[in-house]
Chains A and B, each alone.
Chain A
Amino acid sequence: MVLLKCPICGNDVNVPDDSLPGEIVEHECGAQLEVFNSNGKLALRLAEQVGEDWGE
């Protein structure tokens, strides 16, 4: 596991080592977070809202 910080509440979030960018993580503070690659390291940011053109 990789220990990351929630960008919303600042608390710790554990993310699996093999997480890929775009993976969605629900944090206990209620935030929906997205894993992304920040200069070669995994990091978290607020997930994108569902877009008008999303779907299958």
Chain B
Amino acid sequence: MIIGVSYDLLRWEEKDIITEARKSGFKAIPIFTKDFYSIVGVGENHNELEADVIIQRNTSHARALTTSLIFEGWNYNVVNDATSLFKCGNKLYTLSLLAKHNIKTPRTVVTFSKDKAVDLAKKIGFPAVIKPIEGSWGRMVAKAVDEDILYSFLEYQEYTTSQFRQIYLVQEFVKKPNRDIRIFVMGDEAPVGIYRVNEHNWKTNTALGARALPLKIDDELRDLALKVRDIMGGFFLGIDIFEDPERGYLVNEINGVPEYKNTVRVNNFNVSSYLLNKLREWIKK
């Protein structure tokens, strides 16, 4: 099997995929996005890129989406494909699709006016969380304890450079324990996950110093994760789940290019090798 690895930044995960692929006797071809180009048009030759499957690992969401589109246009198998990356990358798209398929999520309002956002936030209750429609690593996500603070955050957002700066997304602050759950789906399995615990910050992104602890995946979590994958598409997903004391599991966000260094470390589970084996099974079919 020949594996292309599409990337812009060589993090631990990208190196590990290349190392594990070579250990298993696969050929791994690094595809550095910043040196990459495409000439679009009938008859343009792209056959020099030999790969049975391309793993999408760009840190930049725009580069990930664009290169997945290009590879798909060339008829390669891409994990993840552009459509599922787009669904995951846009929080409103994610939440709408989940709700449509009866998957519980935090209560969320979306408006195009700041006053309306504050009105609606009063209905879902304070504290409320404001977050950009697109964005990662917890950037620009803020918790407002009252109306005044929420209004200030809405004003701040309006003066950012985000293309979605005039779309206001406000979410209930889920009274979860000081942790959330991250489950990894690979193909038709959800074999591994972590708790992300942060005693000092309500944000549980490991990029912001949350600790990872091993998670035992029960049938309910596994079924939920696989249902989410059916809705979102894609082959390799990181699903973020909150535990609500009354409503149970709420799906919060889904990552289309998930990081998993800490998952490997605390679970002693080889994510890259598992993913590669699942890809081989898939390619054979």
Contact = CB atoms under 8 A, between A and B. Distances in A.
Interface in A7-28: 20-24
B219 interface: no
A56 B139 CA distance: 12
Given A21-B32, A36-B35, A37-B32, A56 B238 contact: yes
A21 B35 contact: yes
B9 A22 contact: yes
B178 interface: no
B136 A56 contact: yes
Contacts of A56: 136-137, 238, 255, 257-259
B10 A24 contact: yes
A52 B135 contact: yes
B47 interface: no
Given A20-B10, A21-B35, A22-B9, A53 B255 contact: no
Interface string A14-56: 0000001111100000000000110000000000100111111
A54 B10 contact: no
A48 B59 CA distance: 12
Prevailing SS type, chain A contact patch: loop
Contact of B134 (A20, A23, A48, A53): A53
Contact of B9 (A24, A37, A52, A53): A24
Interface residues of B, number: 27
A22 B8 CA distance: 6
Contacts of B135: 52-53, 55
A6 to B, nearest CB: 19
B62 interface: yes
Interface string B127-139: 0000000111101
A55 B9 contact: no
Interface hub of A24, A54, A56 (most chain B Cβ within 10 A): A56
A24 B255 CA distance: 23
Contact of A55 (B14, B34, B59, B162): B59
Contacts of A24: 9-10
Contacts of B32: 20-22, 36-37
B278 interface: no
A53 B58 CA distance: 11
A13 B258 CA distance: 31
Interface string B236-271: 001000000000000000010111000000000000
Given A22-B9, A53-B61, 20 more contacts: A20-B10, A20-B18, A21-B30, A21-B35, A22-B10, A22-B30, A22-B32, A24-B9, A24-B10, A37-B35, A48-B9, A51-B60, A52-B139, A53-B134, A54-B59, A54-B136, A55-B136, A55-B137, A56-B137, A56-B255
- Closest A-B pairs by Cβ, 6 of them: A55-B136, A21-B32, A53-B61, A55-B137, A22-B10, A56-B255
